[in-house]
Structure 1
Amino acid sequence: MQAPFTTISTFRDTLAAAPGPDSDAIKGAQDRNAQLTKPPGALGRLEDLAIWYAGWRGDAQPQIRAPQVIIFAGNHGVCAQGVSAFPSEVTAQMVANFEHGGAAINQLSKAFGARMDVYPLSLDIPTADFTIQPAMSEAEFIDALQTGWNAVDPDADLLVTGEMGIGNTTSAAAVAAGVLGGDPAGWTGRGTGIDDAGLARKTDVVARGLALHATTDPLEALRCLGGRELVAMAGAIAAARYHRIPVVLDGFICCAAAVALHKAVDGALDHAVAGHLSAEDAHQRLLDAMGKQPLLQLGLRLGEGSGAALAIAVLKGAIACHSGMATFAEAGVSDG
């Protein structure tokens, strides 16, 4: 299905009109959970995850059969300011690695039975340097949103969005600060491993971008300070809500894109869980702002959707137990 919006305003309206979970499926899943052969609450968060998932899929006894991982890649004009330890050429090189199956995310997608798609976004035309002008025009912003939206398979039953883009932790820090406020230094981390001088430059770049593009509109902050891959992730997460596909959020960069949706429309991320807490210091602040508790904490800082892809296993485990376990009546076991 093609994206049903052509402007920022109509995108916001589309997101606001997206459906919520199925209350009957939630009730059915809660009733089933109460009858399974285990003490009440013995599976902890797995029980809550299963009921949450059931509500979004409209099925009290669901299965996860078709997870989709989508990697979006973009280049950033702000890299000219010396904010990354790697040159922009690495973005295209890593896209080739994804396409040939050689990256970590390829292995994780395969391990957990997920279809993986890769979308390079105008890599030969970086976004504008946001210390000088908005990173994207509205037309470029909408194009990236639509790419993300259209990349989602409506038949998928779980979505992970990942990214690749040299310089995108700078963009993500600027977006997070633009949406949530606060000191630029508190949002800016070392990304791929820059030294102290590089971190100082990066923090200064974020501060200058925020000074130039002060706005109270979170989608405008994403347009002016973001990258095409961040915007495409936001579009995909929004499309998943439209199709009632649960989402597993990845690390700092993915959550910077997601928090713009969270602030743009109340409840926009009710269909999403946080896959993990990354090693990027400010990721916890983003999760707190969105009210998300991570499923995993493994010190990851790779990006690519890797932490969220690992968390597919947690969701699959939750659903396998919920939908596959016997009830007390089925097993002939007394429930007390």
Structure 2
Amino acid sequence: MMRFDTAESLSAALRDLPPPDPAAIEAAAARQAELTKPAGSLGRLETIALFLAGWQGNPRPALDKGRAVIFAGNHGVTQHGVSAFPADVTAQMVANFENGGAAINQLARHAGLELRIVALDLDRPTADFTRASAMTEAECLDALAQGAAVVDPGLDLLVVGEMGIGNSTSAAALCARSFGGDPRDWVGPGTGLDADGQARKIAVVERALVTHAGAPHDAFETLRRLGGREIAAIAGAVLAARHRRVPVMLDGFIACAALAPLVAQAPGIVDHCLAGHCSAEPGHARLLERFGLDPLLRLDMRLGEGSGAAVAVSIVRAALAAHSGMATFAEAQVARRL
């Protein structure tokens, strides 16, 4: 398991990012060239298959062991009225996940994914980050480590999602500190805020940026000052997945915002990631553009929970089915193009 013992351990892990396997990609591309179809005719399904081949190190990649992990955490910043729902909903939704009643339970089952729920100290919200750091160094390191712990070496694909009332405010603050821009560029309605609620949210992000303006801009400090436990856990999981060459399917704005401080420090950290969808939260499209990721789906979803990413897994399964199951021209005795 990847260890996060000190603040420097995150930066060290970001400096040494394993690449995909070029030989596996080359062999997968050679197979693609022999399949009974015009070259490139399956579009992104072909590139998805090559992407999986490179990260799995297998010219005929598989999705036998896919895992969706939903991290949950509570945020002290909710005291400023930045969510349409009370903070108690986080724990209530975790219970719903555990009882099988949420959207992600149905979507993960449909996608053939094992579902895990990781609740992080729900009885102990992070600090109000307009006044102090959201987490101590020890708390942030623990959250990173809990995220890394869900990544087994044998996984074929990891889907990451979150639950945490108030976490879209944290996500907006992380993006604004990592990439700049007016907080209005990053703040959206979240769980359904009206115009007044969004104005409060913008003001909270502005205050937070001023409070932490003099702090170091490295990934760890940004995460611990403006993030949440579930957000730091997503960052730890995605980083651990990279070091184990496990491809990742990202969900919406909050799950992607967890990586914003990492991308600001090491842009290549998202090379092993697919963007499952582009959510209806306004900042998500802007964030994906900064990441250089083209989402697989645009369905106007904004639920979180890993829901959009789980839906996109069906596209990955289609890509792998075509790549591994189709016959070659020689096998099918089909004439090649003249």
Q: Check whether TM > 0.5.
A: yes
The alpha-carbon deviation at position 15 of structure 1 amounts to: 3.1
Report the equivalent of 1:218.
219
Structure 1 residues without counterparts, runs of 5 or longer:
none
Task: Work out the CA distance in 1 between the residues paired with 2:103 and 2:182.
Answer: 33
The alpha-carbon deviation at position 80 of structure 1 amounts to: 0.6
Report the equivalent of 1:282.
283
Look up the SS of the partner of 1:110 in the other structure.
helix
1:1-336 → structure 2 map (5 Å cutoff): 2-214=1-213, 215-336=216-337
Task: Work out the CA distance in 1 between the residues paired with 2:259 and 2:93.
Answer: 23
Deviant stretches of 4+, over 4 Å: none
Amino acid at match of 1:98: F
Give the conservation status (yes or no) of the 8 Å contact 2:4–2:144. no
Amino acid at match of 2:327: A
Give the conservation status (yes or no) of the 8 Å contact 1:178–1:218. no
The alpha-carbon deviation at position 176 of structure 1 amounts to: 0.6
Amino acid at match of 1:110: R
The alpha-carbon deviation at position 219 of structure 1 amounts to: 2.9
Task: Work out the CA distance in 2 between the residues paired with 1:264 and 1:141.
Answer: 17
Amino acid at match of 2:192: G
Amino acid at match of 2:65: A
Q: Per-residue CA shift, 1:25-79, capped at 9, x if unaligned?
A: 0100110111110001100011111101100000001111111000000000000
The alpha-carbon deviation at position 216 of structure 1 amounts to: 2.6
Amino acid at match of 2:227: G
Amino acid at match of 1:241: R
Look up the SS of the partner of 1:329 in the other structure.
helix
TM-score normalised by structure 1 residue count: 0.98
Task: Work out the CA distance in 1 between the residues paired with 2:267 and 2:84.
Answer: 37
Task: Work out the CA distance in 2 between the residues paired with 1:4 and 1:83.
Answer: 34
Q: Per-residue CA shift, 1:236-274, capped at 9, x if unaligned?
A: 111111111110110000110122222222411110010
After TM superposition, the structure 1 stretch with the greater mean CA deviation from structure 2, 150-159 or 300-309, is 150-159
Give the conservation status (yes or no) of the 8 Å contact 2:185–2:283. yes
Give the conservation status (yes or no) of the 8 Å contact 1:15–1:242. no
Q: Per-residue CA shift, 1:1-32, capped at 9, x if unaligned?
A: x3233112112212322321111101001101
Look up the SS of the partner of 2:59 in the other structure.
coil
Amino acid at match of 2:132: Q
Give the conservation status (yes or no) of the 8 Å contact 2:4–2:142. no
Q: Per-residue CA shift, 1:100-127, capped at 9, x if unaligned?
A: 1110000011001100000000000000
Task: Work out the CA distance in 2 between the residues paired with 1:122 and 1:53.
Answer: 34
Task: Work out the CA distance in 1 between the residues paired with 2:332 and 2:3.
Answer: 48
Task: Work out the CA distance in 2 between the residues paired with 1:154 and 1:93.
Answer: 32
Task: Work out the CA distance in 2 between the residues paired with 1:140 and 1:200.
Answer: 30
Task: Work out the CA distance in 2 between the residues paired with 1:80 and 1:266.
Answer: 34
The alpha-carbon deviation at position 223 of structure 1 amounts to: 1.2
Task: Work out the CA distance in 2 between the residues paired with 1:135 and 1:273.
Answer: 29
After TM superposition, the structure 1 stretch with the greater mean CA deviation from structure 2, 5-14 or 126-135, is 5-14
Query: Percent identity over the alignment?
Result: 56
Give the conservation status (yes or no) of the 8 Å contact 2:11–2:219. no
The alpha-carbon deviation at position 217 of structure 1 amounts to: 2.0
Task: Work out the CA distance in 1 between the residues paired with 2:319 and 2:291.
Answer: 22
Task: Work out the CA distance in 2 between the residues paired with 1:299 and 1:87.
Answer: 24
Look up the SS of the partner of 1:135 in the other structure.
coil
Look up the SS of the partner of 1:268 in the other structure.
helix
Q: Per-residue CA shift, 1:176-227, capped at 9, x if unaligned?
A: 1010111011111110011111111111000000111124323321211111
Give the conservation status (yes or no) of the 8 Å contact 2:70–2:306. yes
Task: Work out the CA distance in 2 between the residues paired with 1:191 and 1:182.
Answer: 19
Amino acid at match of 1:7: T
